[in-house]
Amino acid sequence: MNKVMSNKWMIAFYIMPALLMVAFLIFIPLGLSAYYGLMEWDGIGAMEFIGMENYITAIQDAAFWDSALHSFLLAVFSTLSLIVYLAISMILASKIKGADILRKIYLIPMLLSSVAIAQLWIKVFNPANGMLNRALMWLGVENPPAWLANPDIVLYAIFVPILWQYAGFYILIYYAALKNIPESLIEAAKIDGATPIQIAYRIKLPLIKGIVKVTVVLAIVGSLKYFDLIYVMTNGGPNGASEVMASYMYKLAFSTNEFGYGSAIGFLLLIITLIVTVIVRKLTEDKENIQY
């Protein structure tokens, strides 16, 4: 057994295709990007080596830290919303009538591209004609806010479509995980008189813990490098009130010709994400490593 499963050639055969692709197409660009971060470069003319200057500038750049804070907030909200998605998945995966069709309906918005989602939510948030404010006015709210124009609100307003956009993704994963639990375990618990809530908490949750941890990491990493809807819906504005790290980086690298500095920000984004991920993994680490 052990001999077969530790054959070096076999291991190489199985790991290499994926590893080579990631090494070439992700790690080399990553290295180059870190290298560009050491340059003064507008992306057009000649490069000039300036050492750590971009990184030092970034550390003193209030706009960068603001955007980092916004990204962190998004990560926190994304992680918290996982609880809701998990609860929905538990309901959908239980044997209630119509669960199958409901599940499909719930996941449909996930199929839409960001272009469509952005347009939809721009229309929801429009201060005069938007669905949200029309509903609020119908309910008697006198002066509903201009959701995307008010710097105090915009960040939270834009989190809503982002969280909504990814709901389907996590529900899909949780659902598959829950369906993977052997039916016999649940039946046995039922015979012992466990309530559905007990089953969910005592049996299902521990069994899919591995997947839950994975989704926590995915939610955090995904949030820290999030870009799409922010770019289309607010472009980080007004006045940077909804700027996140990735949109700030994009602005520097592609709009204002500070490609070197933008690359440095991109690399910092990765470092920050890495640190946060390591911390989260440590916090959620099991004392005893259960193998099923």
Partner 1 sequence: MKKKAFSLLVLLFSVSMILAACSGGSGDGEASNGDDKVIDFMHLWPEGSSAEHNRIVQEIVDDYESENEGVSVNIEVLSNEQYKDKIKVLSTSDELPDVGMTWPAGYLEPYVEAEKFAPLDDTLEGEFGDSFVAGTTSAYEVDGSTYGLPLELNVATVFYNQAIFDEYGLEKPETYEEFQNVVDTLKENDVAPIALGNKDRWTGSMWYMYMADRIGGTDLLTEAINQDTSFEDPALIEAADKTQQLAQSDAFVNGFNGLSDQEAKSMFMNEQAAMYLIATWDLPNYTTNEDVPQEFRDSVGYFKFPTVNGEGDRESFVGGPGVGLFVAENSDVKEESKDFVKFFAEQWGEKSVTEAGVIPATKVDAESLDLPQMYVDVLDDLNNATNLTLFADVQMSPEAAEVHLSQIQALFGGNVTPKEFAEAHQEALSQE
Partner 2 sequence: MKKLSYILLYICLGIVAVFQLLPIIWLFLFSLKSNREIFGGNPFALPREWLWENYAKVWEGGIGLYFFNSVWITVVAIILTALFASMATFAITRMHWKLDKLVLGLFMVGLMIPIHSAIIPLFSMFLNVNLIDNPISIVLTYTAYNLPITMMILLGFYYTLPREIEEAAIMDGCSIHRLFFRIILPMTTPVLSTIVIINMIYNWNEFVFVNTFISSDQYKTLTVGIQNFIGQYMTDWGAIGATLIISLLPILIAFIFFSNKVVEGISSSAVKG
Minimum separation from the CB atom of position 20 to partner 1 (A): 11
For position 284 contacting partner 2 by CB under 8 A, the verdict is no
Q: Is the peptide bond before 238 cis (omega within 30 degrees of 0)?
A: yes
For position 28 contacting partner 2 by CB under 8 A, the verdict is yes
Terminal-residue alpha carbon distance, the chain: 18
Minimum separation from the CB atom of position 125 to partner 2 (A): 12
Residue 64 binding partner per list partner 1, partner 2, none, with a CB distance cut-off of 5 to 8 Å that depends on partner kind = none
For position 265 contacting partner 1 by CB under 8 A, the verdict is no
Binds partner 2 by CB under 8 A, chosen from 91, 137, 141, 279: 91
SS3 149: coil
Q: State the CB neighbour count (10 A cutoff) for residue 242.
A: 26
Q: Which helix (H) or strand (E) holds 181?
A: none
Minimum separation from the CB atom of position 164 to partner 1 (A): 19
Binds partner 1 by CB under 8 A, chosen from 257, 270, 272, 277: 257
Gap between the Cα atoms of 147 and 152, Å rounded: 9
For position 166 contacting partner 1 by CB under 8 A, the verdict is no
Gap between the Cα atoms of 258 and 183, Å rounded: 57
Cβ 158 vs Cβ 234: under 8 Å:
yes
The interface with partner 1 within residues 35-54 (CB under 8 A) comprises 42-46
Toward partner 1, which CB reaches closer, 45 or 98?
45
Residue 234 binding partner per list partner 2, partner 1, none, with a CB distance cut-off of 5 to 8 Å that depends on partner kind = partner 1
Query: Residues 146-165 vs partner 1: string with x where CB under 8 A?
Result: xxxxxx--x-----------
The interface with partner 2 within residues 100-139 (CB under 8 A) comprises 100, 102-117, 119-120, 123, 129, 131, 134
Gap between the Cα atoms of 173 and 83, Å rounded: 13
Residue 287 binding partner per list partner 1, partner 2, none, with a CB distance cut-off of 5 to 8 Å that depends on partner kind = none
Backbone φ and ψ of 194, nearest 5°:
-75, 140
Gap between the Cα atoms of 42 and 59, Å rounded: 20
Q: Which pair of structure tokens corresponds to residue 221? A: 């990493």
Binds partner 2 by CB under 8 A, chosen from 47, 203, 217, 232: 217
For position 274 contacting partner 2 by CB under 8 A, the verdict is yes
For position 190 contacting partner 2 by CB under 8 A, the verdict is no
Toward partner 2, which CB reaches closer, 57 or 126?
126
Minimum separation from the CB atom of position 171 to partner 2 (A): 11
Mark the segment that binds partner 1 (CB under 8 A) among 69-77, 97-105, 120-128, 194-202: 120-128
Residues 261, 267, 271, 272: is their CA dihedral positive or negative? Answer: positive
Q: Which pair of structure tokens corresponds to residue 260? A: 């070197």
Gap between the Cα atoms of 151 and 166, Å rounded: 24
Minimum separation from the CB atom of position 10 to partner 2 (A): 5
SS3 177: helix
Using a 10 angstrom Cβ sphere, with 0-12 exposed, 13-18 middle and 19 or more buried, the burial of residue 33 is middle
Q: Which pair of structure tokens corresponds to residue 248? A: 């700030």
Q: Could you list the residues that contact partner 1 (CB under 8 A)?
A: 42-46, 122, 125-129, 146-151, 154, 234-235, 237-240, 251, 254-259
